[in-house]
A = this chain, B = another copy of it.
């Protein structure tokens, strides 16, 4: 049984390393449009062999599709066209609804399982891949009723093997929730970095002198690359627009209370925000 990984970056690479560590699957084959990624994936033992996309599709019993969401949408229908009747294909994209809609009426839709292992970090590429990346993190599987039971079973086994908690949602629910819980924090972090750079660019001394751990953690996500994130923002555009507007409203509420010296209101605002702590350890 060959496992084929399309896209040997952080997520695809870490799935490969995780499955190998627990002896899931015999042979791992892979493909990546980036030659450095392909080279490193061999060197790091993520896959045994780099082959063409066409050969990978023909030779794999399980296909993991770990490329930017726009490329998943583009390539998924033709992969489904070409797989054998018992091959399972699993994607790992950070948005789910537009991908699921793209193949909704495909005759082989049931061989596809739409998943989102929530484990990305601001680093990318196979050199950051780690077998332990997913440990006790959440994996969302969407629109399960559209996948065959044996395909669901394989997806379940894969994510259990790499120690993820598995959660089932519709792709609409997933995209709405993730807009607030992941895509909005990325926009906020990009915008904070943009603001600070616009204000103090070329003033290296200010960065040297004033950088504290607070700015570090709030701009960590701003290191995330546009190749991954622009397609995510485009794919989840409507939910994200709603989330940004919702956020700006509360930010303006804070600012207006500051302008109008309504400090009691700011005190209550901070106390409410403090409750986020309880949500982190539920």
Q: Which residues of A contact B (CB under 8 A)?
A: 118-121, 137-138, 140, 167, 169, 177-178, 180-182, 184-200, 204, 206-226, 229-230, 233-234, 237, 240-241, 243-248, 250-252, 254-255, 258-259, 263, 266-267, 269-277, 279-280, 282
- Cβ–Cβ contact A255 & B241, under 8 A: yes
CB distance from A23 to the nearest CB of B (A): 28
A108 to B6, CA, bound (A): 71
Neighbouring B residues of A223 by C-beta, 8 Å = 274, 276-277
The DSSP consensus for interface residues of chain A is helix
Contact of B272 with A212 in the complex, beta carbons under 8 Å: no
Given that A192-B185, A217-B217, A250-B194 are contacting pairs, would A212 and B138 also be in contact in the complex, using a CB cutoff of 8 Å?
yes
Bound Cα distance A234, B277 (Å): 24
CB–CB A273/B194 < 8 A: yes
CA distance A210 to B117 in the complex (A): 10
Known: A181-B206, A184-B192, A222-B276. 20 other contacts (CB 8 A): A140-B209, A177-B210, A182-B210, A187-B251, A195-B243, A197-B272, A197-B279, A198-B246, A199-B246, A204-B282, A207-B280, A217-B217, A217-B221, A218-B220, A224-B274, A226-B274, A230-B263, A244-B251, A244-B258, A245-B255
B258, A211: Cβ atoms under 8 Å?
Answer: no
B212 near A270 with CB under 8 A, answer: no
A237 to B262, CA, bound (A): 12
Q: Can you give 29 contacting A-B residue pairs, CB < 8 Å?
A: A138-B209, A177-B210, A180-B196, A180-B199, A180-B200, A182-B215, A188-B188, A188-B192, A188-B218, A190-B270, A191-B247, A191-B251, A193-B275, A194-B250, A195-B250, A197-B275, A197-B279, A207-B282, A217-B217, A218-B220, A222-B277, A225-B274, A233-B258, A233-B266, A240-B258, A244-B254, A248-B251, A248-B252, A248-B255
